[in-house]
Each structure stands twice: as structure tokens, then as C-alpha cells.
Structure 1
Amino acid sequence: MIWSCLGVFVRKAEVGVPLILLYSTGFSLIYQSVIFVRKDIRSAVPPFKKLPHIMLLALVLLLNTFTFLFAYQKTTFANAVLTHYIAPVLVAFMGWFFLKERVSLSDIVALVAAMTGLYIMFGGGGLVDCFRKLSWPPERIEPETLGVVSGLASGFFYALLIVMVRVFVKRDNPYVLVFFQNLFITLYLVPFFKIVPTKTVLLLALMGLIHSTLAPYLYYYGLSGLPAHKAAVLGYLEPLGAIIFGMIFFNEIPHKQVYIGGALILLSGYLTIAKRNRDNG
């Protein structure tokens, strides 16, 4: 549920996404550095030959997070988080394409459910219209269109990230991996640095603690102690929480079709995750 309030921080910061990410990940490095007082953590630092893989992972994570936060800035919380949640279905088909994993009937059903959900959410042809409205220069594109497309892009990059983790760093210590990913993201964003107001710095420092440090650490800790099917169910509290935060802080009341379409998208993701958990025992 911690990630559910992410959009509130993004809107309240009132600065561009590159600065939000630069400051929050920069502060997270300070908080996360304390893990290296433990000998087992220091011994888990990846060898130099793995750094290119982690740098690539960090780049994809940056693209995922950038597009997700950008969606929060440009469209409603419901649109941002529900379009992002096409990721589990995309993972199944990326796994087939890149890793030669088998696509089952339930994966196909999940894909149909996700596409139907998107179709309903955006009023039939609304999703197609979003892509038709894309033009150059970007300043001419409606914010709502940018937000929806960005949310879908974040789902794609998140799915790609999951597949890459399976290939490159499946057995690495997740806490060390989070630190090095944030380190490289910070380095990528240094060219965008500029001074922001003190109140914004404080907000982003808190965001670095909550969303870039506590949230991933608690997530990995929870995965180690929860059965996979329960972890999957708990993960789906995030979109519900995000929509509630949108209602409370920004008076965003989703339309009926958003609830129906969103439910189908979440169902598709759950079907995919539940099937994978069964396959893994």
C-alpha cells in the first residue's frame, strides 16, 4: 500500500519528473548505504563483470519509473495505475518471446481480458484515439493522451524489467541490487540537476525514504515470508489505494467504465500471476 500514495508526492512536488527522480533516488542512496555495515551485505556486492547488466537494468527501471510518474502528472490516478497494470500479461508474452516460456490458455484469456478492459475504460475507440492524437511536437498533444500512453509505456517497461531480472540477476541479493540500481539512476539524471525550493527538497527526501527505500525493502522482505499467492493478492491493493488517494486529495472520481475496465485489467494480471505461481509450485 505504500506505493499507492506515490502519485500524491508526484503532484505535490510541482517539479518535473527528472528532478523528482534525481532527488528521491539521491536521498535513497544515503538511507540505503547503512545496509553495508553488515558483512553479508558487503560480500553480496556484485562483481565488476555484472555492472553492465545492472546499468542496463537501471536504465529500464528509469524508463519504467519516469513514464509511470509522468502518467500521474498528466492523467488521473486511476488511468495511470490501471494502464500500468497490464505488465503481468506482457511478462507472460515477453517470456515466450525472449525466454521461450510456454504461453498457456489462461495467458491468452488474460490478454483478452486486459485488452477488453482497456477498450471499456477508454470508451470503446478511446484508446485508439489516444494513439491517433500523438503528434509532433509533444506540446501539441493533450495531457490526458500523454498520460494514458505513458501509463501503458510504464507497464511495458516494467514487464521488460521483470524479464531482464530473470535473465541477468535472478540470484543476486535484492537489497544490494536496489542500491546499485538507484546509484546508476542518480548518475543518469545528474545532467538534469537544478536547485529546487526547500519544501520540495524535504518532500522528495521523504519520498526517497518511503518509496525508494522502505517500499522495495518491505516488498522483498514480505516476499520471503509470504506464500506466493498471498503476495500476488496483496500486490493488487496498490491500484485500489491509488484510486482512493486520487479521490481524497484531488477529487478524482472515476467513471463507471473505469471501474469495469480496471477490474478486467486487474483480473487479467491476477490470472497471469496465479498461473505462474502454480507452475513454480
Structure 2
Amino acid sequence: MGRREEGVRPGSRPSVLAVFIFSLVSFGTAGVWVSRIDLPSWDIVLYRSGIGGAFILLVFLLTRQKPEGPAHRKDLGIVFLSGMAQGVSWIFLHTAYQEIGAGLGTIAYYCGPIAVMFLSPLLFREKMTWWKAGTFLAVVFGMILVNLEALESGKTQYGIFAGLMSAVFLAVMLILYKKARHIGGFEGSLIQIAGCFTVVFLFVLSKEGLPRPVPGGSLPWMLILALFNTGIAWCAYYGAVAKLPVQTVSILGYLEPLSAVIWGALVLGESMSGLQAAGALLILGGAVLSEVLPAILGRRHRSGVRER
């Protein structure tokens, strides 16, 4: 499956949107399951990528999709490298879940796409508007507020560091993935998760040899994380994303960190201070507005041109 967007029939659009929103809300539950698994973050990522990747491979084979990789070997390598970056990012992200909670960990993680947006003029020669620069500064200020009160304990400092490093490697993943123009969809996700599994497996071998077995009490949560949050949710995401406009995907994508905050509060009892809540609003608001306002202004401009 390539990266070309497909048109969506009017009657099917609500169902496609529902599937896409389901996948994002599902992604937001990851921190809940991770908090219940008694394993180091790297072992969690190894099992998650291995079991989830096997599920995605099964779906890919059952749907009999034609692979694009053999015809685009350079892109194949780039997507695999992006998956390796995703693996490192997940190790830091799962550490952040365990140290500072699902909500704050996911918010830190989602600074990655904002960093890519800010670097896009240098990397992809995309124009940086004053509006996007302003929203980037809002996100940075929001991160300062979110972490201001959390810097009191050494454990939390490490959690914040892990969250920010997850964002750095997420940005690397996005940059690499954007450079591969011919491989996407289920095939792209399958190659990515193979790269993720490979780098984490090598890390586990170097650190502790064979991975630790999953404790009996953690097994149900590991299966939910690997099969539901990774396998099923990824298939739903990549099945819907090819049928939706880019702007819709970009804007709705921020439902994931929002849902992570909500799940963290409802299930794990996580709470934020007033400053942290203000910082979270700045991060989410800046991220959404960086996508929404240009789309609105673009539609108005095109409408004005048609009227003239």
C-alpha cells in the first residue's frame, strides 16, 4: 500500500472517522496497561513489539496486500531505521509512564511532532509562518509549566528526562519516515515494528541476555497492550489514515495525549496541579491550533478567490 490518499465515499466517512478516533483513544490507554506490568521498560517494549508485530503480519498476509518494499529498497531501509528510532523512543516513553505517569509521559512524548514542525524549514524546505512559530513557543512554555513543580525529586527528574528523550527519538522517527515516500499503510507499520523489535532485542541482549519472563499477574495486561493497544489499534489506525485528509489526521491525532490524561486521571488516579494543567492546555492547544488555523484561513482564502 502506498502513501496516496484515497477518496472517502460520503456514506463511509463517519465509520472511517469512528475507527480512526477509536485507534487514537486506544493508543492513549497504553500508560494504564504499562503501569500494571512488573517488568523493565525495555522488556515491555520487546514483548509489545514482538506480539503486536506478529498480529500485524497476520493481518497483512490475510488481506493479501501487495508489498511495495522490493521495488523501493532505499525507502525500505529508511522505514526500518525509523522503526529502530521508534523502539528507542518507546523504551524512554514506557520509562516515563512508570516514573511520572501516563498523562505527563504522553504529553512529553507528543512534543516530538512539534519539534519536527519547527525543524521542517531546514529539513524539508517547508515555510515557517509566524503563527506556527508562536504555537511552537506555546508548547515549549507549556512543557516548562508541566515540569516546573515535578523537578523536586530525583526520580521525577529522570522521568521527565525519559519523556523528553522519547519525544526526541519520536521526532527522529517522523523525520526518517517522511523521507520514505513509497512505503506506507500496513506495510510501513509492519516494517517499522520489525525495526523496533530488532533494536530493542539487541538492547535487551546486551543488557540482560534473554528477556525476563512476564510475571503471571502481569500477563493479562501485557496481552492487552500488545494485541489491543498495538496490534488491533495499529491496524485500525493505518486502515483509516489512508482514507482521511491529512489535516483531519493531524488535528485528530492530538486526541491521543488528551485521552492519556483522561485515562490517567480516571483509572490511575493521576492528578495535576493548576500550573501543570495550564501547561498541558498550552501544549495541546498549541499543537491543535498549529493545524486548525492554517486550514481555516486556507479555506477562507480559496472561498474568496472563487467569489471573485
Q: Deviations over 1:73-122 (max 9, x none)?
A: 11033321222222232112221222222211112101221122123223
Query: Aligned with 1:103: secondary structure?
Result: coil
Amino acid at match of 2:278: I
Q: Deviations over 1:211-262 (max 9, x none)?
A: 2222222222232333444333322222222122222232212111111111
In the aligned structure 2, how far is the partner of 1:122 from the partner of 1:29? 34
* TM-score, normalisation: structure 1: 0.84
Are 1:259 and 2:283 matched, yes or no? no
In the aligned structure 1, how far is the partner of 2:87 from the partner of 2:262? 26
Which of the residues 39, 43, 54 maps onto 1:15?
39
1:280: how far off?
9.5
Which of the residues 184, 194, 198 maps onto 1:187?
198
2:230 match: 212
Task: Kindly indicate whether the alpha-carbon contact (under 8 Å) linking 2:75 and 2:183 is maintained by their aligned counterparts in 1.
Answer: no
Amino acid at match of 1:37: L
Are 1:172 and 2:183 matched, yes or no? yes
Structure 2 unaligned segments of length 5 or more: list them. 1-24, 300-308
1:12: how far off?
0.4
Task: Kindly indicate whether the alpha-carbon contact (under 8 Å) linking 1:26 and 1:186 is maintained by their aligned counterparts in 2.
Answer: yes
Amino acid at match of 2:104: N
In the aligned structure 1, how far is the partner of 2:186 from the partner of 2:245? 20
Task: Kindly indicate whether the alpha-carbon contact (under 8 Å) linking 2:69 and 2:75 is maintained by their aligned counterparts in 1.
Answer: no
2:109 match: 84
2:172 match: 160
1:264: how far off?
0.7
Using a 3 Å threshold, how does the CA distance of structure 1 residues 213 and 228 change in structure 2: closer, same or farther? same
CA RMSD of aligned residues (A): 2.6
Alignment of 1:86-235 (within 5 A): 86-123=111-148, 130=151, 142-167=154-179, 169-190=180-201, 191=205, 192-235=210-253
Using a 3 Å threshold, how does the CA distance of structure 1 residues 92 and 165 change in structure 2: closer, same or farther? same
Using a 3 Å threshold, how does the CA distance of structure 1 residues 53 and 272 change in structure 2: closer, same or farther? same
1:29 match: 53
In the aligned structure 2, how far is the partner of 1:85 from the partner of 1:58? 17
Q: Deviations over 1:151-185 (max 9, x none)?
A: 12222222222221111x23313211111222232
Higher deviation after alignment, 79-88 or 225-234: 225-234
Amino acid at match of 2:251: V
Using a 3 Å threshold, how does the CA distance of structure 1 residues 273 and 163 change in structure 2: closer, same or farther? farther
Using a 3 Å threshold, how does the CA distance of structure 1 residues 24 and 232 change in structure 2: closer, same or farther? same
In the aligned structure 2, how far is the partner of 1:237 from the partner of 1:49? 33
Amino acid at match of 2:97: Y
1:50: how far off?
4.2
In the aligned structure 2, how far is the partner of 1:72 from the partner of 1:94? 27
In the aligned structure 2, how far is the partner of 1:240 from the partner of 1:222? 20
Q: Deviations over 1:46-74 (max 9, x none)?
A: 45554432331121111221111111111
Task: Kindly indicate whether the alpha-carbon contact (under 8 Å) linking 1:92 and 1:272 is maintained by their aligned counterparts in 2.
Answer: no
Structure 1 unaligned segments of length 5 or more: list them. 134-140
Amino acid at match of 2:225: M
1:2 match: 26
Higher deviation after alignment, 4-13 or 208-217: 208-217
Task: Kindly indicate whether the alpha-carbon contact (under 8 Å) linking 1:246 and 1:252 is maintained by their aligned counterparts in 2.
Answer: yes
* TM-score, normalisation: structure 2: 0.77
1:278: how far off?
7.2
Task: Kindly indicate whether the alpha-carbon contact (under 8 Å) linking 1:94 and 1:160 is maintained by their aligned counterparts in 2.
Answer: no
